[in-house]
Amino acid sequence: MNLRDWFARYIPLVESEMRDCLAVPDQVLDGYYGMLRYHLGWADENLAPTNINSGKRIRPMLCLLACQSARGDAMQAIPAAAGIELVHNFSLIHDDIEDNSPTRRGRTSLWALWGIPQAINAGDGLFAIAYLAIDRLRDRGAACERILDVRAIFDRTCLALTQGQYLDMLFESRLSTSVDEYMTMISGKTAGLISASAAVGATLAGSAAVVQYETFGRELGLAFQIQDDILGIWGDEALTGKSAESDIATKKKSLPVVYALGQSAKLRALYAAPEVDVPAAIAELEAVGAQRFAEQAARQHHEQALQALQASGASDDAGQALFELAESLLGRAA
């Protein structure tokens, strides 16, 4: 099977598991669970059922493919894959609040519709439901010690997510941020959960190569974020759904910007102004080779991800699908 076939097989099962986890326990709570369904793309603003863009579901696929390629039973790992996607979405709800972002996936963000207090509560709810999803591993026959190991991975990852978000917000108020500091930030905010996805799958398979799968996920996550940074400035707006002007105008500290700020006094002056001259900033990024630097970094982490995956002994069609997924993430245009 190719990667598309694996997505067609597993994602509907993950979606079904997530929906089961979000079953409404009492009619009076329908509005609460409606907010969660809205964020996940299952309801519209009036909480009527719909089915719209709900994200790429990369993380649960990594979990299931890692489990299968490590000679485990991916069906047994479905609750963990669902929990991973719920944790990811918990972080997105809170990120939108903290970043004051009015939209998410082309729709009004949850906080902008129902207010910040309710959005915080909804995000906390998804966090708790994600952990309840892990408990459902027992119903699939997972060994208790492996479930405990999965919970430990979740604990470390959720802490890393908040640490990464702390650094992201901290860097917004600082003109100078080093490349090393930036890498520490995305290691927690982006790569942490992608790394955990692969590690959880391998753990549930009882693999001796959990470290290699974890390294594969971390390096893939770093490459994924850097590629996202590149697309945020030089990507095709028709494909990415956002303009370069937004990242530059809001002074987002992506890798190309962080690198260029360390190279160019002119760019530092542009970013020190109350409003950034976007065309001048992009011209300066290109003048100091920021795009080339970021592209080389993405390729380096991508190669290290493939090396770790090779070392894991990932086998059969599922292993090949992991290689295919890694290639698709680096070469994507959106």
Domain ranges of the chain: 3-327
With a cut of 50, which residues of the chain have pLDDT below it? none
By CB atoms closer than 10 A (0-12, 13-18, 19+), residue 188 is buried
Orientation of helix 116-135 relative to helix 144-172, angle to 10°? 150
Rounded-to-integer distance, Cα 274 and Cα 283, Å = 19
- At 243 the pLDDT is 67
What's the sign of the alpha-carbon dihedral 161, 295, 60, 201?
Answer: negative
CA gap 255, 245 in Å, rounded: 16
Per CATH, is 3-327 categorized as 1.10.600.10? yes
Q: What is the pLDDT of residue 78?
A: 98
Please tell me the predicted confidence (pLDDT) of residue 241.
Answer: 61
Percent of the chain past pLDDT 70, that is, above it, reads 97
What is the structure's pLDDT at 176?
Answer: 86
